[in-house]
């Protein structure tokens, strides 16, 4: 255990930085945070592993829904996008039901003044028709984007960010997300 904690600390030290323009504009995010998947890839779970590193106060449910949670009890909703056939199969839902679920959450969050973050944590491997469709459906609700840089090589996320005038923070490696979280949540 001790050895792994050291490894994770080292990961933190060796991690390169990230490029964020959000906080320069005074944009901040607050806890508590609701985290859910948008597409049922394991990216959302990876998000929570990183969130633990910066001691973020979060609640994680893969299938968080407006029927089961009052989103107004949170200050931030993080939707980790990644369409996975395996994950959708494991959850026994299809892509249409998944989009309906996360859109309802995002709408409820917007109505309650809860900030919505769209996150791509798995990079290029989660860019495809289904994942891109989820992002497109959620884009009207986004207050910020946290994106692994190889997912934005074609400027897909940059376009949404610039069009809506909301910040986009990119990072090279998954673990570098912790620097983004530290910056945006003031950790």
Partner 1 sequence: MRIKAILLVTLFLASALFGTFFRPDVRPGYGVTDIGWLSDYFSPLRNTNMDTPVYFMDSGVDGPTFLLMGGTHAREISGTTAAIVFIENVAVTKGRVIVVPFSNISAASIPDETGKSPHLIPIESRSGSRFLVYGDRRTDPLDQGIPDPEIFKHAQSDFTLDDGAESRNLNRQYPGVADGNPTQQLAYAINQLVKTENVDFNLDMHESGTPDSYIDSKGNQRSGSSLAYTLVCHPDALEIGAVAIMEIEAFYGVSVKLEESNKAFRGLSHLEIRDATGSLSFLSETPNPGQDSWRDRFDVINDPDYPLSHRAGLQLQIIRSLFGAYEMMIGETVEVENLPSYEEVMQNGIFSYLN
Q: Which residues bind partner 1 (CB under 8 A)?
A: 1, 3-5, 7-8, 11, 14-15, 40-43, 45-46, 49-50, 84-87, 89-90, 92, 122-123, 125, 150, 173-175
As measured in angstroms, the least distance from the Cβ of 124 to partner 1 is 8
CB nearer partner 1, residue 139 or residue 151: 151
Question: 176-179, long-range: CB within 8 Å, 24+ apart, which pairs?
Answer: 176/15, 176/16, 176/17, 176/18, 177/18, 177/47, 177/50, 177/119, 177/121, 177/146, 177/148, 178/12, 178/15, 178/50, 178/53, 178/54, 179/15, 179/17, 179/18
The neighbour count for residue 80, using CB atoms within 10 Å, is 29
As measured in angstroms, the least distance from the Cβ of 5 to partner 1 is 7
As measured in angstroms, the least distance from the Cβ of 72 to partner 1 is 29
As measured in angstroms, the least distance from the Cβ of 140 to partner 1 is 28
CB nearer partner 1, residue 117 or residue 177: 177
């Amino acid at each position: 255990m001790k050895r792994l904690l050291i490894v994770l600390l080292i990961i933190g030290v060796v991690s390169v930085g990230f490029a964020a323009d959000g906080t320069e504009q005074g944009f901040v995010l607050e806890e508590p945070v609701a985290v859910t998947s948008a597409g049922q890839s394991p990216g959302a779970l990876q998000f929570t592993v990183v969130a633990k590193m910066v001691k973020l106060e979060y609640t994680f449910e893969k299938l968080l829904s407006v029927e089961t949670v009052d989103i107004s009890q949170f200050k931030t909703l993080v939707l980790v996008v990644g369409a996975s056939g395996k994950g959708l199969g494991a959850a026994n839902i299809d892509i249409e039901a998944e989009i309906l679920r996360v859109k309802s959450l995002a709408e409820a969050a917007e109505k309650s003044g809860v900030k919505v973050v769209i996150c791509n944590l798995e990079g290029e491997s989660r860019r495809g028709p289904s994942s891109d469709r989820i992002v497109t459906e959620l884009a009207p609700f986004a207050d910020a984007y946290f994106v692994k840089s190889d997912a934005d090589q074609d400027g897909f996320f940059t376009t949404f960010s610039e069009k809506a005038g909301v910040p986009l923070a990119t990072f090279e490696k998954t673990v570098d997300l912790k620097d983004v979280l530290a910056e945006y949540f003031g950790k």
